[in-house]
Structure 1
Amino acid sequence: MMPVISGCGKTDSAKTDKPTSQEVVIADEDVPLANSDVKVLVPSAPGTTTYKGNNVVIDASNLEQGYVMIKYNGKNDKIKIQIAKGSGTTYTYNLNARDAYEVFPLTEGNGNYSVKVFENVAGTKYSQAFSKSLDVKLANQYLPFLYPNQYVNFTADCETVKRGVQVTKSTTDDLKKVELVYDYTVDALTYDKAKAATVQSGYLPNVDAVLAAKKGICFDYASVMATMLRSQNIPCKLVVGYTGSVYHAWINVYTPQTGWIDGMIFFDGKKWKLMDPTFASSGKKSESIMKYIGDASNYTAKYAY
């Protein structure tokens, strides 16, 4: 018999969702491959508001900060998380830790989110173990893009954060910091074709390892830049989508001077260029590459982390 799901700590008056044995197919996500003052926010699971059932614990204590913490205590080797706001985009994640919380961002703004946890049955078939509806009202819209998460994973003492401080130490201006971080990333990293040819679904960037190797795929470039900027309190989205037919990753940035610059971020003295460090690096900033990445119509966003 399936146990009844119950909330502990602070609870709401809404009816608690129940698990279902209905099987669904969840395809693995592709990996995108296309060629100061440090203020590191730390996610936490204080247990003020939690929901439990079927070896799953959801800590919803800090929804206003733009994230939810999830822990799985069972024996299943493959766990998937799906998070969606209303009928919008569904974000699918692997839950890799066991008996420890992982952080998952709430990147679609205020509203009602569904959080579902699935256990693997066989292959790409999964059974829903637990679900919960969460009402989210962010303290501000930028918080989901300041905290670390699976895709932009960093701590205050990681080398990438320290490097970002060194790269931007000459200025206190956010736009100038963005420019310096962009130039550093483009010049310091080269595109790793061997990694692109062998990387598997579920890959997550390790920013310090990427910096040490001085090479990476587009996912790595975007994660390194987002780490450097977020750790200096500059909101930064890691965006995954398509450039033409190629699955790719890039970043969008917020500054007080500009607001959100969705796709256009690097100013060359005449106009904003699309913030795409991978293409700029692998193309050695050639005129044709800079023209391509400066055209926002070449990019279609799918997810923002």
Structure 2
Amino acid sequence: MKKKLSLKRVLCALLAIVLVAGLAVTALAAAIPAKAPAQSGVTVYQNAKAAVDASNLADGYVSVKYTGGKDVRIKVRITKSGTTDYYDYNLNNKGTAETFPLTGGDGEYTIGVYENTTGTKYASAYSCTVTLALTSEFSPYLYPNQYVNFSDSSKVVAKAAELIKAAGAKTDLEKVTAVYHYVVNNISYDYDLAANVASGYLPDVDKVLESGKGICFDYAAVMAAMLRSQNIPCKLVVGFAGKVYHAWINVYIEGVGWVDQLIYFDGKTWSLMDPTFVSSGKNDPAVLKYVGDGTNYSQKYAY
């Protein structure tokens, strides 16, 4: 006598077929290796106060350092020509290079370095224009930068490799899932930090991993660092969840494209990839429903 399959088993089987058929093993990781950003000095624009190393421009980033010798606040502004879009960053005044992504696609960018004069006023220290022609559209989201800062020796890189191996993950989706569940289950929201976070705060991904707590910016940076170290293109996105300033990640999956609705699957769509809300909400259905509604989110910046 044949056994009657339960509805649950049928749905699980159908979902498995969809995943296998639509998200097969990807060759993207092998095709686009994540590399450490380099300042080779081959192409440098500079004056006495600042230097912009554009030697690896085609990989979607520049390295900038301030050499003016003043003990003042330094800013970097990156503007894409023909748009009103610009990104403002803090830059150390110790002469150490920092890496900044160019995330607006091919075209001309102006990189300006500014010295604080008084209060909120700044004066131009140096400015140059570069023309970007990317070797790959994914490059800006595979390399470390000031916001997603990691290296081969970072603990998050080792942890990502450990998670992937333990899960036996082969496809990019399986790798994303392993990293996602680790982050939401092992990092708790730091309400004290959120209430007192200073302007210019930058995530320290290894510190967050070790302490097991962080704010939304930290969740997103840790996941982005882990996935980029596995050669999976990942955007750290900053914008608004409703009226709240927030950070989350978007991931590229071969055969699907850039996915901002991924982990929670209701039979029709994937939920927005937002580890902070899911973690702090403890998988509450109301939280999952909110996260799954992409209209609740509006992107402002991508790093």
Fold equivalence (TM over 0.5): yes
Describe the superposition over 1:212-234 as per-residue Cα deviations: whole angstroms up to 9, x where unpaired: 11110000000000011000000
Equivalence for 1:265: 262
Q: Matches of residues 180-219 of structure 1 in structure 2 within 5 Å? A: 180-219=178-217
Shift of 1:96: 1.6
> Would the aligned equivalents of 1:40 and 1:155 in 2 still touch at CA under 8 Å?
no
2:84, 2:101 → 1: CA distance? 15
Q: Per-residue deviation at 1:257?
A: 2.5
Larger CA deviation: 73-82 vs 113-122: 73-82
Q: Tell me the alpha carbon deviations over residues 105-158 of structure 1, each in whole angstroms, 9 at most, x when there is no partner.
A: 111110011111100001110001111111100001000000000110001111
Match of 2:173 in 1: 175
Structure 2 gap ranges (5+)? 1-28
Question: CA offset at residue 75 of structure 1?
Answer: 2.5
- Superposed displacement of residue 268, structure 1: 2.4
Residue by residue over 1:177-212, the C-alpha shift from the partner in whole angstroms, topping out at 9 and shown as x without a partner, is 111111111101110000101110111000111011
Residue of 98, 101, 105 corresponding to 1:102: 98
Alpha-carbon distance, 1:51 to partner? 1.2
TM-score (norm 1): 0.85
Query: In structure 2, what residue type is equivalent to 1:90?
Result: Y
Q: Secondary structure at the match of 2:300?
A: strand
Report deviation, 1:54: 3.6
Q: Tell me by how many angstroms 1:172 deviates.
A: 1.4
Between the aligned partners of 2:161 and 2:264, the Cα distance in structure 1 is 21
Across the aligned residues of Structure 1 and Structure 2, the Cα RMSD in angstroms comes to 1.6
Give, as a single letter, the amino acid of the residue that structure 1 aligns with 2:95.
D
Q: What amino acid maps onto 2:96 in structure 1?
A: A
- The CA distance in 1 between the partners of 2:191 and 2:296, in whole Å, is 22
Distance 1:167 1:97 in 2: 38
Q: 1:40, 1:156 within 8 Å by CA — same for their partners in 2?
A: no
Task: Say if 2:46 is the partner of 1:48.
Answer: no
Tell me the residue number matched to 1:231. Answer: 229
Contact 2:78 2:111 in 1 (8 A): yes
- On the 8 A contact 2:73/2:93 being kept in 1, the answer is no
- Alignment partner, residue 29 of structure 1: none
Contact 1:40–1:231 under 8 Å retained in 2: yes
Q: Higher helix share goes to which structure?
A: 2
Distance 2:84 2:130 in 1: 15
Total equivalences in the alignment: 269
Alpha-carbon distance between aligned partners in 1 of 2:223 and 2:266, rounded to the nearest angstrom? 22
Q: Which amino acid aligns with 1:81?
A: V
Specify every segment of 5 or more residues in structure 1 that has no aligned partner in the other structure, as ranges. Answer: 1-35
What amino acid maps onto 2:78 in structure 1?
I
Q: Which secondary structure does the structure 2 equivalent of 1:228 belong to?
A: helix
Instruction: Please state whether the residue corresponding to 1:122 is helix, strand or coil.
Output: coil
Using the aligned pairs only, state the percent identity.
50
Partner of 2:135: helix, strand, or coil?
Answer: coil
CA contact (8 A) 2:34 2:228 kept: yes
TM-score by length of 2: 0.86
The equivalent residue for 1:5 is none
Please say if 1:84 is aligned against 2:79: yes
SS in structure 1 opposite 2:288? helix
Aligned to 2:16: none
Q: CA deviation at 1:40?
A: 4.5
How far apart, CA to CA, are the structure 2 residues paired with 1:228 and 1:154? 9
Q: Which moved more, 1:192-201 or 1:94-103?
A: 94-103
Secondary structure in 2 matching 1:168: helix
